Structure 1
Amino acid sequence: MGIFFSKRKKISRITDHDKTILELKIQRDNLKKYQLRIEAILENDRNLAKRLLTEGKKDRAKLLLRKKRFQEQLLEQTDGQLENLEKLTQDLEFAQIEIKVVEGLKIGNIALKKINDTLNIQNIEQILEETREGVEKQNEINDLISGVLNDNDEQAIELELSQLIDQNSEILELPEIPNEEPATDQLKKEIKEKTKKSILVEV
């Protein structure tokens, strides 16, 4: 079977802004390497000029010092270019941070607006009013019930509650099963009656 699975093309997260910063850093590093190379040449030319002077070759030593001076001027220009590259790189990186901050603020403002739209003042007032009405209604019901019942009613309620608790306790206490066979029919009848009462209580 000729089934071909196409790989999904990965979306690069590197932006043009990132590429620009990378290029600037590469140029900066190349300039630093160039400076180190020029400084090494300058030191070598200086030592060579000293040796030429000891050998009595003043003209050649002077010519070498002229070359050295020209390279020193190039080195000074390189310092200025390097400083500009450093500043431009830092500005671009800071601008990238600012863009992310602005994007974060934008997303936050959108989320906050949605929350505010959901929880507007009218909805909150309506919810509070409905809650207040529900509480007041419940209080009215409690007041009505309290007004109808007197102390005798409360005592009757307590008594009935106590009876219900006793009945539940009796349900939990099942009749004991005798280990030995009953000796008389009367004993069988008593056990049967106890079992019947337990069933009725449960119902």
Structure 2
Amino acid sequence: MGHLFSKRKSRVTEHDKALLQLKTTRDKIHQYQKRSEATVEKDRQLAKKLIRDGKKERALLLLRKKKFIEEQLKKTDGTLDNIEKMIQDIEFSQIEMQVVDSLKIGNESLKQINAMLSIEDVEHILDETQEAVEKQREIDALLSGGLLTEEDETAAEEELDAIIADAIQKRLPEAPTDVENPEVVLPDVPETLPEAEKKAQKEKVAMAAS
């Protein structure tokens, strides 16, 4: 695909030649106008001097020449307008051609990229991505306890309390009996613990489980 973006060799087209010729003509006309304007001003000043010297015939010839040059300058103004318009049209056409060429290159590149990826591949990638996202959500929910309802939490706590109480009961020594007076009954060992001790036992069991 790299060949699509390789640098093009610069070449002079017919449009470039026409554009160069028009600009050269424009520059020559500008130079002609400057020379003509200088000549007109020079003839005007010389005509004034001839009139002061009483040489009216020569002054009239200079004024006629000056008038002719001024008429030519008016014509060159119109020619310049046409040339400038043609230059702008050609330059804009060249920009349009560059845009079209760029669109062609981009379209060809897009076709090649699409050919590298099939619809089945894209669907498979999306499915795998969705499965991974859902699995991660389940893991996050389990870690945060989000899958347990309030009843489940209560049942789990009650089961933990029972395990703790059973563990404590096994650790306590058996209650002694009165050998001389077997009818005497000792008080039963309480099966429940104060809340503070129960909480401490829960923490111990939780630490042992982890």
TM-score normalized with structure 1 length? 0.55
Cα distance in 1, alignment partners of residues 126 and 84 from structure 2: 60
Partner of 1:67: 65
Structure 1: state its 5+ residue gaps: 1-10, 139-203
Q: Quickly say closer, same or farther: Cα 1:60–1:98, change in 2 above 3 A.
A: same
Partner of 2:29: 31
Partner of 2:100: 102
Partner of 2:191: none
Q: Quickly say closer, same or farther: Cα 1:52–1:132, change in 2 above 3 A.
A: closer
1:32-52 per-position Cα deviation (integer Å, ceiling 9, x unaligned): 111111011101110111011
Q: State the AA in 2 paired with 1:56.
A: G
1:104-160 per-position Cα deviation (integer Å, ceiling 9, x unaligned): 01110111122223334333124444x37997xx9xxxxxxxxxxxxxxxxxxxxxx
Q: State the AA in 2 paired with 1:73.
A: E
Q: 1:87 aligns with which of 85, 93, 107?
A: 85
Partner of 1:143: none
Residues 119-138 of structure 1 mapped to structure 2, 5 A cutoff: 119-129=117-127, 131=128
Structure 2: state its 5+ residue gaps: 1-8, 136-210
1:40-91 per-position Cα deviation (integer Å, ceiling 9, x unaligned): 1101110111011001122221222111111101001111111211121121
Cα distance in 1, alignment partners of residues 29 and 129 from structure 2: 75
SS at match of 2:94: helix
Cα distance in 2, alignment partners of residues 12 and 126 from structure 1: 45
Q: Quickly say closer, same or farther: Cα 1:134–1:41, change in 2 above 3 A.
A: closer
Percent identity of equivalent pairs: 54
Cα distance in 2, alignment partners of residues 64 and 125 from structure 1: 89
Q: State the AA in 1 paired with 2:19.
A: I
Partner of 2:173: none
Partner of 1:51: 49
Aligned pair count reads 126
TM-score normalized with structure 2 length? 0.54
Cα distance in 2, alignment partners of residues 132 and 45 from structure 1: 88
Determine which structure has more spread, i.e. the larger CA radius of gyration.
2
